[in-house]
Amino acid sequence: MQKLVKLLLPVAMTLTLAACGSGMPVALPDDPNNEPAATAPVDDDNQSAGEVELPSTTPDVPAVGLSEREQILKLYNHLDPSRLVPTKGLEEAVLYFHKNKSSLKNQKVISVLDFSQSSTKKRWYFIDIKTGSVWNVHVSHGKGSDANHDGFAEKFSNVSGSNASSLGFYKTAETYQGSNGYSLRLDGLSSTNSNARPRAIVVHGADYVQDQAVIQGRSWGCPAVSQANRDKVINLIKGGSLIYAYK
């Protein structure tokens, strides 16, 4: 069955892209799989963590006073000289990074994923902490976040089986070879994404994500990138770097 899906996927993409000429919205096909409702560890209330809907729209941004905030941000004035990264996302990522550097092994890069943007945009930004340079790519969001497949993520969840993306701060972890090939595990650092690992929310490459301004295919919650960008993205951020996904 998986071989058949892989054979049919390029054909579906060709037909979908051809629809552009007829005025129809261009949207790539989705991940053919769905997120399983995984059995999660039992919490103190004797309920599965996968059955409890945790906060979904307010990541745990560090609380700092105005004066301290200004002092911290001044230390990172060199970041993003071309002003590609949305200001809100960059500033909140920088504040979290600065306050939690001791727990982040890979301090060479931080990344910001702006879910307020359409998936037609290069909305995942990678910021080099030393040089300040920025590289950005297209990235998917979950089926459960975009019910009508219009390219905009509207709903977010921390629950297994939701097929939705989760907002919040993540720390990248180990790489592995899985059903999607070379992949990168993520650990959620916020109450909004604490189930990332048990949900198997990982960074991986996908044929339903392309490096062009079209509506990307939807994953089951993973931030999937194009196969062409997969290795570069994973090798850049693996081993304990910070990701901030927000809307």
pLDDT digits (tens, 9 = 90+) for 153-198: 999 999 999 999 999 999 999 999 999 999 999 999 999 999 999 9
Contact 245, 115 (CB under 8 A): yes
Residue-level pLDDT at 180: 95
Residue-level pLDDT at 105: 98
Confidence of residue 63 (pLDDT cuts 50, 70, 90): confident
Whether 150 shows a pLDDT value over 60: the answer reads yes
For residues 40-69, one letter each, b for 16 or more C-beta atoms within 10 angstroms of the residue's C-beta and e for the rest, the string is: beeeeeeebbbeeebebeebebeeeeeeee
List the domain boundaries for the chain: 53-246
pTM of the model: 0.83
Confidence of residue 26 (pLDDT cuts 50, 70, 90): confident
Q: Could you give the CA distance from residue 35 to residue 29 in angstroms, rounded to a whole number?
A: 16
* Cα Rg of the chain (Å, integer): 18
Rounded percentage of the chain residues whose pLDDT exceeds 70 = 79
Confidence of residue 64 (pLDDT cuts 50, 70, 90): confident
Q: Could you give the CA distance from residue 224 to residue 35 in angstroms, rounded to a whole number?
A: 14
pLDDT digits (tens, 9 = 90+) for 98-149: 999 999 999 999 999 999 999 999 999 999 999 999 999 999 999 999 999 9
The mean pLDDT value for 236-244 works out to 98
Whether 202 shows a pLDDT value over 80: the answer reads yes
24-28, 46-50, 77-81, 156-160: range with lowest mean pLDDT: 46-50
Residue-level pLDDT at 59: 67
Whether 18 shows a pLDDT value over 60: the answer reads no
Laid out side by side, the sheet with 242-246 consists of 134-137, 124-128, 109-114, 242-246, 168-178, 181-188, 202-206, 225-226
Tell me the two tokens of residue 30: 């989705």
Residue-level pLDDT at 154: 97
| Class of 53-246 in CATH | mainly beta
Confidence of residue 25 (pLDDT cuts 50, 70, 90): low
SS3 of the chain: helix, strand, coil, percent, to 5: 25, 20, 55
Confidence of residue 33 (pLDDT cuts 50, 70, 90): confident
Contact 56, 221 (CB under 8 A): no
